[in-house]
Amino acid sequence: MNSNNIIIRNIPGIPEIKSGDDLPFIISKAFKKNRIKLKDKDVLVITQKIISKSENRLVHKDSIKPTTKAIILSKKINKNPFLTQLILNESKRIIQKKPGVIITETHHGFICANSGIDQSNIPVDYYCLLPLNPDKSAKKIRLIFEKELDIKIGVIISDTFGRPFRSGQTDVAIGVSGITPLLNYRGIKDSYGKNINVTSIAIADELASSAELVLGKTTDSPVALIRGYDFKYSTKNSKLLIMPKNKSLFS
């Protein structure tokens, strides 16, 4: 794929998002305000936080009733019992727990800290949960823009995850629509003429991570535009990025 001149820029002017807000309309308005027009093969990277806000995935502390299990666990790991209860609610299973953190497998299949729940950039005493179906959210936004503008684009919903055996965090794709999540090099010859047999690049994660460079964590710009990446249009979604249990070396 020829992508020699990739442009990544944030889209300022997105207001505080509330439950029920029309995100495609708000994003479109910000594009017009910045005199930017979406083009064919553009990729939109949208942070999970505004998806969750628009889909009413913020939970107030007073609405949470910790169970005995959550209270006992919270005392063992020195963690807020309200947050502990939400983590349990949002997970299939606990992978690991240590003081201050619980690594879980969410109902989506993501392996992450605290079931992806956080309290940054939201009101006090609220918790932000992951969208119920980030792929569906990405597809809905993509189809609206494609119908309105008669173009084909990719949409990625991003979130910040830690990584096993690596310090620091990076943004990854938790929702994907219109763009191939994985780029398979199998069958292509390397620079020495040998066939590449196993390399599969998580291109959606790489695009999400690159977008974070212009989004940051403290800006009011939760949407990025990536232009110039010549992606293969696809109906696949983020499920391809989740390692099957029978192939995982660390399950």
Q: Mark whether 123 and 136 lie in a shared domain.
A: no
Q: Mark whether 201 and 218 lie in a shared domain.
A: yes
| pLDDT over 60 (residue 184) | yes
Tokens read off for 8: 């990544």
What does the pLDDT look like over 86-135, one tens digit per residue? 999 999 999 999 999 999 999 999 999 999 999 988 999 999 999 999 99
Q: Mark whether 11 and 67 lie in a shared domain.
A: no
* Dihedral angle over CA of 91, 96, 98, 101, nearest 10: -30
Last residue of a domain, one of 127, 142, 174: 127
Q: Mark whether 74 and 169 lie in a shared domain.
A: no
Name the residue range of residue 232's domain: 7-55+131-241
Q: Mark whether 144 and 206 lie in a shared domain.
A: yes
What does the pLDDT look like over 130-150, one tens digit per residue? 999 999 999 999 999 999 999
How does residue 49 score in pLDDT terms, banded at 50, 70 and 90?
very high
Whether 251 is covered by a domain: the verdict is: no
Q: Mark whether 160 and 219 lie in a shared domain.
A: yes
User: For position 68, which CATH number holds?
Assistant: 3.90.1660.10
User: For position 202, which CATH number holds?
Assistant: 3.30.1330.100
The structure's pTM equals 0.93
Residue 189 confidence (pLDDT): 64
For the chain, give the mean pLDDT.
92
How does residue 244 score in pLDDT terms, banded at 50, 70 and 90?
confident
| Distance (Å, whole) CA 206 – CA 96 | 26
Can you say how many angstroms the Cα of residue 219 is from the centroid of all Cα atoms in its chain?
17
Q: Name the pairing type of β-strands 101-106 and 111-113.
A: antiparallel
What does the pLDDT look like over 202-215, one tens digit per residue? 999 999 999 999 99
Residue 247 confidence (pLDDT): 80
Q: Mark whether 140 and 42 lie in a shared domain.
A: yes
Main-chain phi, psi angles of 97, to 5 degrees: -140, 140
Q: Of 138, 158, 137, 142, which is closest to residue 212 (Cα–Cα)?
A: 158
